[in-house]
C-alpha cells in the first residue's frame, strides 16, 4: 500500500521536499522498562531540562515505586549534567516544567500515597494528588506542595507569569483543596486553574466544569499576565454559569483568563466524534495558537475541516480578543496528531506531531518509513499568516513519539520524545535498551534551503478547497473558491494513478463554487480529487466506504 501512495504522488510533485533539519546532537537515556519525557524547558544560561517518569531502571536511577518522576539537565552541547529522581512509595509523574529568569525550576505533576523530598514528605489524600515543586539549578528541591482531593487529581502543565507567579492546570475528581480554597466537581472530572507565588503560597483557585469529563491539558501566559488554557471536554461546559454545548463526544476548548482568574472568553471546536486539544502557545503579538487532533470533521469558528476515517491534526490561531484568524489542517490517510507548537522571533510557527502513513502539507507528501505503519515524528514550519514553508519527518522502522518542542531563534529546534527498538534520526541511529527509551535532541535549521514556491507571475487562484461528506458512500460535494475567471479541470484518481472521472468546466467565474461528485468506483478505498486551472493545481483526499 505504501508503494502505491509513493507512486501516485510522484505524478503530483515536481520537486523534492526540502530537508532543512540536521542533527546537532541527540541524547538518549536507556531504561529497562517504559520511560516518557513529558516536557522540557531551557534556562537563560542555555542549559536544557527535561522531565517525565520511568519504570525499573533509568540511566543511573532505579524506581522505588511502580513509576517515578525524573528531571535531567543537559548543557547546550548535549552533555548530561545530572539526572535526579522525584519519587515516593507508589506512582509519581512529572508532567510540566518552567524555568524563571533566575534559573530557578518549577515543576508540576502527580503522586500517589507519599512523595519524599529532602527530609520531608507529602501525603496524598486518597488516589492521585497534584504535585508542585521548586528546584534550584543543581536539582535540589527548595519546596514542595500538593493539591488534594478524594479522587484522581493531576497537574498537567505549568507556566510562568510576567509578575513572577506560577499558574498550573490539570483535572480533579470529586473535590480539590489547595491552600485553603476548595472546589467541588460538577461532573466526573473537571478542570482547575491555580496560581502560586515563587515561595509556593497559593494565590487563587478556579474551575471550569461540565457534566462529564473535562481536562486542562496545556497552559500559557501573555505579557499582560493573562492566562490561556486548552484541553478537551465532553458534552457541555459551564463557564460563569452559562452553558456551552459541544458538537460530539469530546470537543476542544480554548479559554482566556485575566490575572485574577476572571474568564474573558472561551472558544470551542468540535465535530461528531472525539477531538482533543493538546497545546496552547502565545506569540509575540499576543495572538494564541491551539493544537490538537480531530476525528473525521471539526468545526473551527466558520471553517469546517474534513479528514480521514481516523485522527487528523490541526492548529488554530486566535487574536487577543478571541477573534478567529485561521486554522491549519494537518491531515493524511491514517492517524496524524499534533502535540505542540512554538514560535521564532518573527512569529513563524513550528508544529510537531506524529503520522502513521501519509501526511499531505502544502502540496508536500510526507511518509513514515515502513510498510507496517509505525508512528513517526514530523516537524512543520508555517509563517505568521499560516502559509506552509517546509516539513520533515524523523524516525524509522518502529514507533517514535514527540512530547515537547522548543525553538531558539530561527536556527535551532529542541525536541523531547521517545523511540522504540531501533530508530534513525536523519543520520543518527538509536537503539533502545528494552522497549521504549527517551531522547532529547537538538536540530539545526538550514535557513538557506530553497522552499518551492509558486512563481511570481503565477497566481494561486484556487482557495478554500473542501469535500463534504468525507468519507462518502455515494456522493460528495466539492466546495472551492476561484479568485480569477478560469477553466477548471477536475480529475479523480485511485491509488494506482488511474483516472476514474474527468470533469471540465469552462469559463468559471470568480467566487465560491460547489460541485456534486458521484462515487468514483464500486470499490471502497482512498481516492484523490485534483482540481486544476491554467495557473494552479490542488489535491484533496476522498475516502469512499
Query: Tell me: the pLDDT tens digits for 49-83?
Result: 999 999 999 989 999 989 999 999 999 999 999 99
Mean pLDDT of 36-54: 96
**H or E stretch at 2:** helix 2-12
Amino acid 459: pLDDT: 53
Q: Where are the domains of the chain?
A: 462-544
N- to C-terminal Cα distance for the chain? 17
pLDDT value at 97 more than 70: yes
d(CA 247, CA 305): 14
Taking the CA atoms of the chain, what radius of gyration do you get in angstroms?
A: 24
Kindly indicate the confidence band of residue 159, based on its pLDDT and cuts at 50, 70 and 90: very high
Instruction: Please state the rounded mean pLDDT for residues 217-222.
Output: 98
Predicted confidence at residue 351, as pLDDT, reads: 97
Q: Kindly state which CATH superfamily the domain 462-544 is placed in.
A: Macroglobulin (MG2) domain (2.60.40.1930)
What's the chain's length in residues?
Answer: 545
pLDDT-based confidence at residue 21 (cuts at 50, 70, 90):
very high
Q: At 527, is the pLDDT very low, low, confident or very high (cuts 50, 70, 90)?
A: confident
Longest dimension (CA), the chain: 80
The cell for 9 is 504522488
Of the listed ranges 42-51, 203-212, 248-257, 331-340, the one predicted with least confidence: 331-340
Average pLDDT of every residue of the chain? 88
Model confidence pLDDT, tens digit, residues 419-461: 887 776 767 777 777 778 899 999 999 877 645 444 434 456 8
Q: Mean pLDDT throughout 77-102?
A: 95
Using CA atoms, how far residue 519 sits from 270, 475, 480, in Å, is 27, 6, 19
Higher pLDDT, 310 or 272: 272
> Which stretch, 218-222, 337-341, 443-447, 540-544, has highest mean pLDDT?
218-222
Q: Which pLDDT belongs to residue 18? A: 59
Q: Give the closest residue to 465 by CA, choosing from 337, 306, 316, 266.
A: 306
b/e burial code for range 215-234 (CB count within 10 A of at least 16 → b): bbbbbbbbeebbbbbbbbbb
* In the chain, % of residues over pLDDT 70: 91
Over the stretch 178-197, which tens digit does the pLDDT of each residue have? 999 999 999 899 999 999 99
CB contact set of 456 (below 8 Å; sequence gap of 6+): none
Amino acid at each position: 500500500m505504501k508503494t502505491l501512495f509513493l507512486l501516485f504522488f510522484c505524478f503530483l510533485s515536481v520537486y523534492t521536499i526540502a530537508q532543512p533539519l540536521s542533527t546537532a546532537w541527540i541524547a538518549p537515556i536507556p531504561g529497562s522498562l517504559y520511560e516518557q519525557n513529558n516536557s522540557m524547558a531551557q534556562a537563560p544560561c542555555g542549559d536544557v531540562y527535561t522531565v517525565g517518569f520511568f519504570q525499573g531502571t533509568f540511566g543511573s536511577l532505579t524506581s522505588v515505586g511502580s513509576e517515578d518522576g525524573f528531571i535531567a539537565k543537559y548543557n547546550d552541547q548535549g552533555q548530561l549534567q545530572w539526572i535526579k529522581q522525584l519519587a515516593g512509595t507508589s506512582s509519581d509523574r512529572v508532567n510540566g516544567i518552567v524555568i524563571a529568569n533566575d534559573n530557578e525550576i518549577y515543576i508540576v505533576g502527580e503522586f500517589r500515597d507519599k512523595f519524599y523530598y529532602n527530609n520531608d514528605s507529602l501525603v496524598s489524600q486518597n488516589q492521585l494528588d497534584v504535585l508542585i515543586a521548586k528546584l534550584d539549578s543543581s536539582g535540589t528541591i527548595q519546596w514542595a506542595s500538593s493539591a488534594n482531593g478524594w479522587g484522581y487529581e493531576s497537574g498537567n502543565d505549568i507556566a510562568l507569569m510576567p509578575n513572577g507567579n506560577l499558574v498550573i492546570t490539570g483535572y480533579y475528581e470529586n473535590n480539590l483543596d489547595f491552600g485553603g480554597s476548595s472546589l467541588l466537581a460538577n461532573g466526573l472530572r473537571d478542570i482547575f486553574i491555580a496560581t502560586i507565588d515563587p515561595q509556593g503560597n497559593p494565590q487563587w483557585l478556579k474551575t471550569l466544569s461540565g457534566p462529564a469529563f473535562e481536562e486542562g491539558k496545556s497552559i500559557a501566559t501573555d505579557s499582560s499576565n493573562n492566562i490561556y488554557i486548552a484541553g478537551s471536554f465532553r458534552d457541555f461546559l459551564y463557564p460563569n454559569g452559562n452553558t456551552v454545548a459541544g458538537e460530539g463526544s469530546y470537543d476542544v476548548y480554548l479559554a482566556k483568563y485575566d490575572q485574577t482568574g476572571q474568564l474573558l472568553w472561551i472558544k470551542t471546536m468540535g465535530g461528531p466524534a472525539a477531538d482533543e486539544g493538546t497545546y496552547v502557545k502565545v506569540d509575540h503579538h499576543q495572538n494564541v495558537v491551539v493544537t490538537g487532533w480531530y476525528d473525521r470533521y471539526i468545526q473551527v469558528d466558520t471553517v469546517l475541516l474534513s479528514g480521514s476515517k481516523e485522527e487528523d491534526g490541526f492548529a488554530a490561531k486566535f487574536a487577543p480578543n478571541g477573534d478567529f484568524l485561521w486554522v491549519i489542517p494537518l491531515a493524511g490517510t491514517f492517524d496524524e496528531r499534533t502535540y505542540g507548537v512554538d514560535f521564532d522571533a518573527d512569529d513563524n510557527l513550528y508544529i510537531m506531531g506524529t503520522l502513521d502513513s501519509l501526511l499531505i502539507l502544502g502540496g508536500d507528501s510526507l511518509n513514515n518509513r515502513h510498510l507496517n505503519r509505525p508512528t513517526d515524528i514530523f516537524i512543520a514550519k508555517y509563517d505568521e499568516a499560516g502559509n506552509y514553508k517546509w516539513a520533515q519527518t524523523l524516525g524509522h522502522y518502529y514507533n517514535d513519539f514527540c512530547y515537547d518542542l522548543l525553538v531558539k531563534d530561527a536556527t535551532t529546534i529542541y525536541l523531547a520524545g521517545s523511540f522504540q527498538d531501533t530508530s534513525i534520526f536523519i543520520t543518527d541511529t538509536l537503539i533502545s535498551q528494552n522497549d521504549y527509551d527517551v531522547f532529547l535532541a537538538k536540530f539545526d535549521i538550514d535557513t538557506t534551503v530553497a522552499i518551492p514556491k509558486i512563481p511570481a507571475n503565477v497566481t494561486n487562484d484556487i482557495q478554500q478547497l473542501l469535500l463534504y461528506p468525507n468519507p462518502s458512500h455515494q456522493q460528495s460535494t466539492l466546495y472551492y473558491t476561484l479568485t480569477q475567471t478560469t477553466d477548471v479541470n477536475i480529475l479523480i484518481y485511485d491509488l494506482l494513478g488511474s483516472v476514474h472521472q474527468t470533469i471540465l468546466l469552462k469559463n468559471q467565474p470568480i467566487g465560491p463554487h460547489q460541485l456534486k461528485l458521484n462515487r468514483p468506483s464500486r470499490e471502497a478505498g482512498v481516492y484523490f480529487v485534483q482540481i486544476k486551472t491554467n495557473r494552479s493545481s490542488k489535491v484533496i483526499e476522498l475516502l469512499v466506504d
